[in-house]
A and B are shown apart, each in its own frame.
Chain A
Amino acid sequence: MSDRIDVRKTYKLYIGGAFPRSESAYSYEVRDSRGAFVANAALASRKDARDAVVAARKAFGSWSARTAYNRAQILYRIAEVLEDRRPQFVQAVVQSEGLSSSKAEKVVDAAVDRLVWYAGWADKITQVLGSANPVAGPFFNLSTPEPTGVVAVLAPQESSLLGLISVVAPVIVTGNTVVVVSSYDRPLPAVNLAEVLATSDVPGGVVNLLTGSAATVAPWLAAHMDVNAIDLTGVVGDAALATELEVAAADNLKRVRRAPAVEPDWSADPGLEPMTTFLEIKTVWHPIGV
């Protein structure tokens, strides 16, 4: 036993590339899977949610205008930095989810691999989803997918790292920006991930992380008129809240990814749907002539 007192980390929010505390100055106790105190996490407020939306909107224009190749490299860079910090995340997943070390290692590996998978999609999704349309007339007609805009994501409650990455990566790889509310009971891997994002060339504001209660924060995001879409994955099992959020989302016709019946198996192949829900098909016409 060393005499040295360890230096503990303050777990904060991640908004616009900075790590602020909640403006409300509220926090809540985070306990490990056995119930022992680990840290106090920031309890995000309505104001934090609004600040996060402002940051996400501000980042949207330049992020969506980047080349797909550039976004691909940045997502790949996230994977690199995550892999580099593998032991830290294994420990965080063990602590949060109560998994054995070997299982937690598999989870972190899967999280890294998922980022690599999505990184590769950045410059392929347009080719898979786009089309040249043979209209009956002398017109060039091309359809391409474009990002929806600012997406609010309610991250899964159980899978604190792999699940989180599985709902954030598909949204940002196509050029959207995100306000994500982490798992309430298991927020610390999310804050660690924010620190990875901050050192992976992800521009500030592209991913904004709120720790705290989805039930408290999500209604403000669902009703926010500058949010274009919402992913309700994190409200599995609370049908009343899911319905309330979907009703609020109708105020500006947000695209809604509904909550699944049970938390998905995050090791499964995600398919395209996590990306396509937050894409818009744009079709451009131009006459052909001399």
Chain B
Amino acid sequence: MPFEYAPAPESRSIVDIKASYGLFIDGEFVDGHGKSFKTISPSTEEVLAEVAEADEADVDAAVKAARKAYDKVWSKLPGRERAKYLYRIARIIQERSRELAVLESIDNGKPIKESRDVDIPIVAAHFFYYAGWADKLEYAGRGTDPQPLGVAGQIIPWNFPLLMLAWKIAPALACGNTVVLKPAETTPLTALLFAEICQQADLPPGVVNIITGAGGTGQALVAHRGIDKVAFTGSTEVGKAIARTVAGTDKKVTLELGGKAANIVFDDAPLDQAVEGIVTGIFFNQGHVCCAGSRLLVQESVAEELLARLKRRMSTLRVGDPLDKNTDIGAINSAEQLARIRELSAIGEAEGAGRWSPECELPTTGFWFPPTLFTDVTQAHRIAREEIFGPVLSVLTFRTPSEAVEKANNTPYGLSAGVWTEKGSRILSMANQLRAGVVWANTFNKFDPTSPFGGFKESGYGREGGRHGLEAYLK
């Protein structure tokens, strides 16, 4: 019973995308020495802009600008003054929130309701939160005279482009560091708009430098001798490569990597709420979420009932134009990512799991994948072990709490987990036993600047957010 909706598109007129963008170094947009690349809209495949690809010389220039700004300006500025710059940035983000949300949805493909109601508000909140820390660092529990590290090299992914920028830049600046940040190759535009916001805020030149590029640019940044800190969010594979690159140096590293979270539903859980949580867990942001609840572990006695309700709910999800306010699931971020999701889903079928998607009309241009679930998944299946990073849910069952814990922890990852039960003591017991950095009980995929986020095991190390997030940028 498909619902009929009239389209409710958000206007694109608020954004002004330039034909080409340079690199933001030392407070100015400059031409890079390298080639350029195109960033496209994943929902239409239209070319949005040409963006400079920073080469080693550009990375070097950016690091030098950051060093100069650190030595001459930022490290000498009292915390209370740094705070005011960060408050200014937070305010400008709030003022320009609709523009940022629309641009994010165009470049990334995520639904406007998510960029508008989740990403951008948390971006502003993150700057606002860390602004307040800048002049209170001696109360952060890290001694009476905590010191910044120097220049931070920061590399962020494409799934939450501006939010990941905020998670990196806000605490770094609050602690007195300067930064060179590389946004993801497929989603550079909001970071470049953020550079303009830094100009509007009169942030001293060189404190924030934004260099666009692909893997090679990132490698040059990580390997640069002039940086004191590497902060990376992205795949576990690249995270390991970074850990190897910095081995033997004094560079401090934080890594926020992949996940394969278990979302555990007990038989006493409020099933309709659990269904909402499962949907949020895996279909939020097209499943392009490192902490996505990609493994549903459901207690055998309610599995049938839960799956029926889940399928009915999935049938109401609307896939399509990211700028339509009705859209629940937007575009897959890139052709490459779509190919990976298709490949792993095909493997899931080939290995014997049962594949199901609701009737779902997909647009003809752009990159799309319907919400999908697999039943009869075993722990040995690749779709139960590997991060798919798409709207694909693997369903497994369990009988006892200890079996649920064992299955949930049976992964090299350890980023997040979900527990659904009405029994409080069981929640606390599960939370104790789950080897994951974030445990959502009777909720899922909630984020807040005050709440530390980060993983156990191969999901990386260090925390972002909260008082704990300061540790990554202080010595």
Contacts and interface: CB of A to CB of B under 8 A. Distances in A.
A253 B431 contact: no
Nearest to A229: B461
Contacts of A281: 437, 452, 454, 463, 468
Contacts of B436: 282
A228 interface: yes
B441 interface: yes
Nearest to B121: A136
Interface string A94-114: 000000000000000000000
B29 interface: no
Interface residues of A, number: 36
A62 interface: no
B136 to A, nearest CB: 14
A286 B141 contact: no
A38 interface: no
A143 B461 contact: no
Contacts of A128: 141
A35 interface: no
B426 interface: no
B427 A134 contact: no
A253 B458 contact: yes
Given A133-B448, A133-B451, A253 B439 contact: no
Interface string A261-290: 000000000000000100011111111000
Given A253-B458, A283-B439, A247 B255 contact: no
B440 A285 contact: yes
Q: Is the interface of A mostly helix, strand, loop or mixed?
A: mixed
A134 B456 contact: no
Contacts of A282: 431, 436-439, 456
Nearest to A239: B248
A251 B241 CA distance: 9
B442 interface: yes
B36 interface: no
A137 B452 contact: no
B211 interface: no
Interface in A135-159: 135-137, 139, 141, 143, 148-149
B248 A136 contact: no
A239 B250 CA distance: 12
B451 A249 contact: no
A131 B452 CA distance: 10
Nearest to A240: B248
Given A136-B125, A143-B451, A287 B443 contact: yes
Pick from A228, A276, A284 the residue with the most CB of B within 10 Å.
A284
A281 B255 CA distance: 14
B199 to A, nearest CB: 29
Contacts, number: 109
Range class of the B interface residue count: 35 or more
A285 B438 contact: yes
Nearest to B430: A284
B460 interface: yes
Interface string A240-266: 001100110111110100100000000
Contacts of B438: 282-285
A111 B444 CA distance: 46
Given A128-B141, A135-B450, A253 B257 contact: yes
Interface in B137-190: 141
B318 interface: no
Contacts of A239: 248
B240 interface: yes
Given A131-B466, A242-B248, A253-B236, A284 B437 contact: no
Pick from A141, A148, A280, A285 the residue with the most CB of B within 10 Å.
A285
B229 interface: no
B130 interface: no
Contacts of A143: 451-452, 466, 468
B255 A253 contact: yes
Interface in B21-46: none
A133 B467 CA distance: 9
Given A228-B457, A255-B461, A250 B240 contact: yes
A31 to B, nearest CB: 32
Contacts of B466: 131, 133, 143, 283
Closest 8 A/B residue pairs (Cβ): A243-B248, A246-B247, A250-B243, A135-B448, A133-B450, A286-B441, A247-B247, A284-B439
Interface of A: 65, 128-129, 131, 133-137, 139, 141, 143, 148-149, 228, 239, 242-243, 246-247, 249-253, 255, 258, 276, 280-287
Given A253-B457, A284-B441, 17 more contacts: A135-B448, A135-B450, A135-B451, A137-B446, A139-B448, A143-B451, A242-B248, A243-B247, A243-B248, A252-B412, A252-B458, A281-B463, A282-B456, A284-B439, A285-B439, A285-B446, A287-B443
7 contacts: A135-B451, A143-B452, A250-B241, A280-B437, A281-B452, A284-B431, A286-B427
